[in-house]
Structure 1
């Protein structure tokens, strides 16, 4: 699954079997009842993206979606009927391109992720598989980069601040280094 963490104020639930945080927040709520079981799987699509030079990498970075079969469902709702816990899975493959040189790599980010939305606006993402995470300049939790994480992953998303990698049992690749 793949989740792309967008800019600090815009969190996404775009995921595929690895984790690809895109920047949207919880998907629309099904307010037909908070006491029912998990919602039905629904299609979810990740949009192409661009990161400006100096924000994530020293060069502009573009992400084009090669394959997207992601699905999302709501597992729990809060008292207002908004999603409190969602799960995303499905194939997602992205072509990452250095906009200065044209060099590119394709990464599949299959996996499954669970996103828990907290009342203070923070989120906890945990999952197994692959995840693409953009760490922006100014994030106090880690150096900027476009990271492909693989394994068991846990992220904390802090509103207005950025993503914090809490746990990774696996490997990571910084695509800024790969594409430099």
Structure 2
């Protein structure tokens, strides 16, 4: 419990406010305090606006397909078999589009080697605060597991499909290059799990 509180404090500091710290991955149900309408004000010079922050269902998690060699050595398909993710807009850009959004809730992604039918059900139900930037880049501050992919030469992790778990930052450029900064935790190579 002490480690979780320390990690939340670190993530809150990275987010710039304690009010935006994600709940732990085990905390799947919004508390009464979380479901009340709150506002968050920024003091930066980017003229961001206040946004009501109530938990609501997030858009469905999209499935994905990659041919052999794109992410794994074989063709791979992934789809959500459990998706109860909720979101809360914490801050908006001046045009009203989301700038900072918190996500949490159960998410299980089934990753299948479509050449053999071998599959693995990956827990991807981490909690995150995602900053959406005008240039299309993103910064994810995450606590718990998330499923993501890396293309060849597309970041600081080898090509593949991974569950990343722990406390970490994922920076994604507009061209989808990803930089993973682990604070605590590790990665699980899902291509290796479904290679048979």
After TM superposition, the structure 1 = structure 2 runs for residues 123-142 of structure 1, keeping only pairs within 5 Å, are 123-142=138-157
The structure carrying a bigger helix percent of its residues is: 2
Q: Which deviations, in whole Å up to 9, do the C-alpha atoms of 1:120-161 show, x marking residues without a partner?
A: 321100111101110012314221010111111210001114
2:95 corresponds, among 76, 80, 83, to 80
Q: Which deviations, in whole Å up to 9, do the C-alpha atoms of 1:17-53 show, x marking residues without a partner?
A: 59xxxxxxxxxxxxxx933432442343112221111
Residue matched to 1:115? 130
The SS at the match of 2:72 is coil
Structure 2 runs not aligned, ≥5 long? 1-24, 27-47
Q: Runs of at least 4 residues of structure 1 off by over 4 A?
A: none
The structure carrying a bigger strand percent of its residues is: 1
1:103 corresponds, among 112, 115, 118, to 118
Structure 1 runs not aligned, ≥5 long? 1-16, 19-32
After TM superposition, the structure 1 = structure 2 runs for residues 142-161 of structure 1, keeping only pairs within 5 Å, are 142-161=157-176
The structure, 1 or 2, with the larger RCO (C-alpha pairs under 8 Å, 6+ apart) is: 1
What is the number of equivalent residue pairs in this alignment?
150
Q: CA RMSD in A?
A: 2.0
Equivalents in 2 of 1:85, 1:36: separation in Å?
10
Q: What is the TM-score with the length of structure 2 in the denominator?
A: 0.70
